[in-house]
Structure 1
């Protein structure tokens, strides 16, 4: 999470610092050297620059990240891998899956997902990809009793079970139980639906999820409460990587 930490640290600098690096009163730290190198050498690998981050640097010695860091596809991929695809991320609102058979879809980077509540009321999350030929399975949001692939008609229950498989005649040792939807860890905290896209065995208990997602702020919000009367508005945008 070095990239995100560095960007957060630098964003608190004054507006004048956005135009040029702030002068350090002490000897230049590793992060100052890395930022200067990035400004003069756009070919420097993003991973190497992020590794130069020094969390102990005083705020007074912070420098403004080069503008290229905000638009470099290499940094975007690095942030997705190190930040957004590791740990819990807010992906929706509990109002979107309030009732059995409710569902909504979304994406994080190049990962397509579907969140749903099955017929028994259990919250589920899966990779939104058919196990047959990797077609996108569901779109938008609403209510469904099953997910049917528009390509060849493979059909899945909202618990991820493969219910119907077409075009498999002649395939030996095919077992439907081996081709259910690939699950994603899902949990709720307050009015938020959260998902975790890595393979961590992290617990999905509310307090654990809140502590990891929000850190010390989770305790403050738990004690102070969250205004759940605010309406949920879902906006979609497309990012090309």
Structure 2
């Protein structure tokens, strides 16, 4: 959750603007990062993956403080590739749904009446209002702003007070889909167009985890652990600081968590 919140501070490239607009203007979509600024490219170039661990140094401070570098990370790290966004128990039954946010992208995952798992940008195609919040069960998504109503398969069911508008075809204004899949107990989503179609267990697992997917699949994936709840924490730091703290091998525990260290 710290990752999602720290990324969400950036403004959306496709955010709705104030004032009147035609129906369907600014459809939600993931916009690729603009041309990389020269200084962001220099920051990337400072990383040498060939340096052995014993010769490694602390990453440049710009990796943690530069806004352009963060935008580049969102595009290259988080929006290109599968991301774990939920648990299969959250959408176990028809009409189940849950929402989330990754960077500047709001999404909703749902299971329709036919049992199909779907994912969409959680944005009304009319004036870009959020459609759904939290999680639960719904038979449809109704925009709280003007009442446009969508099925859980993404189709536009009703567009209020739209009669008389020329060249309006409601079939053209369904929710914008997001790729969704499951692997083990995880619900995965991705927001680019580079995924290979194929068997979920093989292709998606390989794209998400690489060679580790075969190792985990061989030993079996435990899907029996139930989903209890989701908790969010707002942590005022760059997302990598949180990861660095978790992955330092317990280096900080004797000094920052003395009571815990005494019990280990």
TM tier, smaller: 0.7 to 0.9
Name the TM-score, length of structure 1 as normaliser: 0.76
Structure 2 alignment gaps of length 5 or more:
1-36, 239-264
Is 1:128 the counterpart of 2:125 in the alignment? no
TM-score of the aligned structures, taking structure 2 as reference length: 0.70
Partner of 2:205: 210
Give the match's secondary structure for 1:172: coil
Deviation at 1:187, TM superposition (A): 0.3
Aligned pair count? 199
CA RMSD between the two structures: 2.2
1:39 equivalent in structure 2: none
Do the aligned residues in 2 keep the contact of 1:47 with 1:78 (CA within 8 Å)?
Answer: no
Taking CA–CA contacts closer than 8 Å with sequence separation of 6 or more, which of the two structures ends up with the larger relative contact order?
2
Structure 1 unaligned segments of length 5 or more: list them.
1-42
Q: Deviations over 1:91-127 (max 9, x none)?
A: 0000000000000000000000000000000000000
The structure with the largest alpha-carbon Rg is 1
- Point out 4+ residue stretches in structure 1 off by more than 6 angstroms: none
Between 165-174 and 131-140, report the one with greater CA deviation. Answer: 165-174
Moved more, 205-214 or 182-191: 205-214
Q: Is the 8 A contact 1:187 1:205 kept in 2?
A: no
Aligned equivalents of 2:119 and 2:142: distance in 1? 16
2:208 is paired with a residue whose SS is helix
1:222 correspondence with 2:250? no
Within a 5 Å distance, the mapping from 1:91-102 to structure 2 comes to: 91-102=85-96
The separation in 2 between residues aligned to 1:164 and 1:238, in whole angstroms, is: 37
Tell me by how many angstroms 1:49 deviates.
1.1
